Chains A and B, each alone.
Chain A
Amino acid sequence: MSGTALLQAIVDGVLTGGVYALMAAGLTLMFGVMDIINIAQGVMVVLGAYLSYELSVHLGIGLVPGLLITVPLMFVLGVVLEFCFLRRLREQDRTGMSILITFAVAILIEGILSAIYGVDYVQLHASYVDKSVHVFGFYLPYIYLIGFALAGVLLSVLYWMLYRTKFGRGVRASLQNRSAADLIGVNVNRTRTISVGIGVAVTAVGGMVFGATTAFNPNSGYDLISRLLAIVILGGMGSIGGAMVAAIFLLVVNDVVAVAWSPTWAPLVFFAALVIVLSIRPQGLFGSPAVRAQ
């Protein structure tokens, strides 16, 4: 294997990691901050891709401008999801029950998408999707550069919102102690509803990039969820930046193994890396053990 191939694999891993971080962003917010394991995350990514597809094919709206419509739509979906289902979960078994609830939601969304679009594969197209820029001997696809940039911006905004605003303090306070947060004036229900809304809304962005890099149908979301959960756990639950670092780390490992050794072993090493890191740092790369202990 040449050094160039290895470098290309690293570059590919970094860029693809950005796309995965984008898809995992909403999961980070919901899983890491609110203890909701959203099994429907993969299907929601596909839903986001279909929304972009609808705007692009039938209304002629570009993929990136279309986010101005798809993100608010997905926010509304998140609010409905929280209001109708998640709010009714008891605190003591909230995490476990959220798996069942969101699995049901995943099946529901998949069924609706299947009824509307059937099972034929589609893919998002734009003039820049197949274009690439030649830098230092490497071809860097524009769509992956766009995905990486969007991931950086989006995760920065989420970080700022969560750790630099009054709303973010309310979110974290309501997780640590719901009663105490209530006593100091945090509207816990509203805070959680908005948080789930944001968590689902950012998935629209991940869905757009996913749909532009992969042919998809309503069933495609199930292939994603295990990797997205691995990224969130490795990054450290509650750590927005950790998701980005973990996504890049895991995808670089995956791509380097695929190129240097064999694609057959890449998924194994992907998850083995997760196990090794967690055995050393159970809280993940950037997680706080104190927060999780409460």
Chain B
Amino acid sequence: MKMFRRCVMVGLAAGGVAVLAACGSSSGGGASTGGKPGSPITIGTSLSLSGDFAADGQAFEKGYQLWVHDQNAKGGLLGHPIQLKVVSDASSPAQVVTNYQKLIGSDKVPLVFGPFSTLLTAPSARVASRYGYAFIEGAGGAPAVFTQGLHNVFDVSVPVKLNLVTWAQWVASLPASQRPKTAAYATVDDPFTAPQIPQAQSILTGAGVKTVYSKVFPAEATDFTPIAGQVASTHADAMVLGSVDVPTVSAFVHSFVQQHYSPKAFIATAGPDQGATFVKAVGAGNENGIFVPNGWYPGFQKADSQQMVKAYIAKYGGSASDVNADVAEAYSVGQAMAQAVAATHSLDNSKIIAYLHSPVTLDSVQGPVKFNSLGENTAGKTLTFQWQNGDLHQTIPTSTPGSKPPTYPKPPWKG
């Protein structure tokens, strides 16, 4: 059915591209000052409001909207109030291309923000590049985005290939008597997870941790029982799971509980960062001890970050633990754009691109942002978080202010 829906989307996208091509396209890369003083500026973006990435896409929308609200309170961009135009891509790589074609080619928005996920950022960045648009994004951090030879893409978050490095280095630094002897690696076939696992595996292998399981499973997998069962049968001391969502991690956790297998260390690339949603899925108590890498968390000690969390709660309700990293990533995109527009005093995308490639360090709720020639943020640092007694805490690097000592080995499953 997913294939069916994607086929329909591809057909629609192909039709849309043909129509747009027939109509011609603009090449200016946006206006230089945004028209009459006080007239609104529209920033276009495509987000996954439904489909596989719906939870992340909707969180991203909240992050963008929060930034628009805050920036407008400061006077908008160059004195123009900001309007955000969000179109849904249903998590489809075909639809996201159509959306940016329309936003830039037909709607002629002067600026665009990136979508959610590497899977959607890679194709949409190419569209923006054709039109000469700066493509600032917060969730396309895998090599698949930066190896396309594009000059216009800028990721405000930490490159995902480094996500597991700090955790792996911490494991490798454990005394030999405590260090895991064996490790299992299972990862979904996805551009977000694929670059992360080899980095961790290399560090752990170098530290003498023997690999007892290492396999990739397809993104379409719905039954994780045989994979989790085989991992459990290896009794690996450490489990490294390349996941993109909550259901995958939840399926592994439940299967491990049923198989009476509890690794000493368990890290998943995504899923445990989803706060209360993750706890509800795995069952209260089973989350304790599970690690997840990320660049930001609600308790991040930075003034604008704390202000953003307060604004989120005021606008959307809930508590700080309901604010996931997607919100901060999206908010940071807006902050980077605002600083570039202010510095260049222009909405000209070519000037914005040139500025972002200059050796400047920008500021964001996630921390400093400095782009290399590929558009990767080289100033950001990956942190590793761990669920401890029902709360997600920053734990690694252990020397970083605000880090709590990691719980090791992982507590037994609550069952």
A positions within 8 Å CB-CB of B: 2, 4-5, 8-9, 12-13, 16, 39, 42, 110, 114, 118-123, 125, 129-132, 139, 141, 213-217, 219-227, 251, 254-256, 258-259, 262-264, 266-267
Q: A138 to B351: give the CA distance in the assembly, Å.
A: 64
Are A264 and B218 in contact (CB-based, < 8 A)?
yes
Are A213 and B230 in contact (CB-based, < 8 A)?
no
Chain B residues in 8 Å Cβ range of A225 = 1
Cβ of B5 within 8 Å of any chain A Cβ, yes or no, is yes
Cβ of B58 within 8 Å of any chain A Cβ, yes or no, is yes
Q: A120 to B322: give the CA distance in the assembly, Å.
A: 11
Q: Which of B263-321 contact A (CB under 8 A)?
A: 274, 277, 280-283, 286
Chain B residues in 8 Å Cβ range of A256 = 226
Chain A residues in 8 Å Cβ range of B281 = 121-123, 215
Residue of B58, B189, B250, B259 near A121 (CB, 8 A) is B250
Q: A254 to B226: give the CA distance in the assembly, Å.
A: 9
Are A258 and B3 in contact (CB-based, < 8 A)?
no
Chain A residues in 8 Å Cβ range of B358 = none
Are A130 and B215 in contact (CB-based, < 8 A)?
no
Are A12 and B215 in contact (CB-based, < 8 A)?
no
Known: A120-B55, A215-B247, A267-B221. A132 touches B260 (CB 8 A): yes
Chain B residues in 8 Å Cβ range of A214 = 222, 247, 250-251
Instruction: For residue B290, give the distance in angstroms from its CB to the closest CB of chain A.
Output: 15
Across the interface, name the chain B residue whose C-beta is closest to A220: B247
Instruction: For residue B77, give the distance in angstroms from its CB to the closest CB of chain A.
Output: 30
On chain B, the number of residues with a Cβ less than 8 Å from chain A's Cβ atoms is: 47
Chain A residues in 8 Å Cβ range of B215 = 262-264
Are B251 and A215 in contact (CB-based, < 8 A)?
yes
- The stretch of B24-32, B46-54, B120-128, B380-388 in contact with A is B46-54
Q: A225 to B222: give the CA distance in the assembly, Å.
A: 11
Q: List 9 A-B contacts (CB under 8 A).
A: A39-B1, A122-B281, A131-B258, A132-B260, A141-B255, A217-B54, A221-B1, A222-B1, A263-B226
| B4, B51, B223 — most chain A CB neighbours (10 Å) | B223
Are B258 and A132 in contact (CB-based, < 8 A)?
yes
Are A130 and B1 in contact (CB-based, < 8 A)?
no
Across the interface, name the chain B residue whose C-beta is closest to A216: B247
Q: A8 to B234: give the CA distance in the assembly, Å.
A: 13
Residue of B230, B247, B259, B413 near A5 (CB, 8 A) is B230
Are B225 and A255 in contact (CB-based, < 8 A)?
yes
Are A251 and B229 in contact (CB-based, < 8 A)?
no
Cβ of B415 within 8 Å of any chain A Cβ, yes or no, is yes
Cβ of B257 within 8 Å of any chain A Cβ, yes or no, is yes
Are B277 and A9 in contact (CB-based, < 8 A)?
no
- Known contacts A119-B55, A130-B258, A130-B413; 9 further A-B pairs (Cβ under 8 A): A16-B223, A121-B280, A141-B255, A214-B247, A221-B1, A222-B1, A226-B3, A254-B226, A264-B218
Chain A residues in 8 Å Cβ range of B286 = 130
B positions within 8 Å CB-CB of A: 1-5, 50-52, 54-55, 58, 186, 189, 215-218, 220-223, 225-227, 229-230, 233, 245-247, 250-251, 254-255, 257-260, 274, 277, 280-283, 286, 413, 415
Across the interface, name the chain B residue whose C-beta is closest to A114: B50
Are A123 and B250 in contact (CB-based, < 8 A)?
yes
Are B415 and A130 in contact (CB-based, < 8 A)?
yes
Instruction: For residue B268, give the distance in angstroms from its CB to the closest CB of chain A.
Output: 13
Q: A264 to B246: give the CA distance in the assembly, Å.
A: 20
Chain A residues in 8 Å Cβ range of B413 = 130
Q: A254 to B222: give the CA distance in the assembly, Å.
A: 11
Are B216 and A266 in contact (CB-based, < 8 A)?
no
Residue of A131, A220, A254 near B223 (CB, 8 A) is A254
Q: A232 to B329: give the CA distance in the assembly, Å.
A: 44
Residue of B58, B186, B223, B280 near A255 (CB, 8 A) is B223
Known: A139-B258, A251-B223. A121 touches B247 (CB 8 A): yes
| A39, A42, A254 — most chain B CB neighbours (10 Å) | A254
Residue of A123, A132, A139, A224 near B1 (CB, 8 A) is A224
Are A4 and B58 in contact (CB-based, < 8 A)?
no
Q: A132 to B232: give the CA distance in the assembly, Å.
A: 14
Q: A225 to B3: give the CA distance in the assembly, Å.
A: 10
Chain B residues in 8 Å Cβ range of A2 = 233
Closest 6 CB pairs of A and B: A263-B217, A225-B1, A255-B226, A119-B54, A215-B281, A215-B247
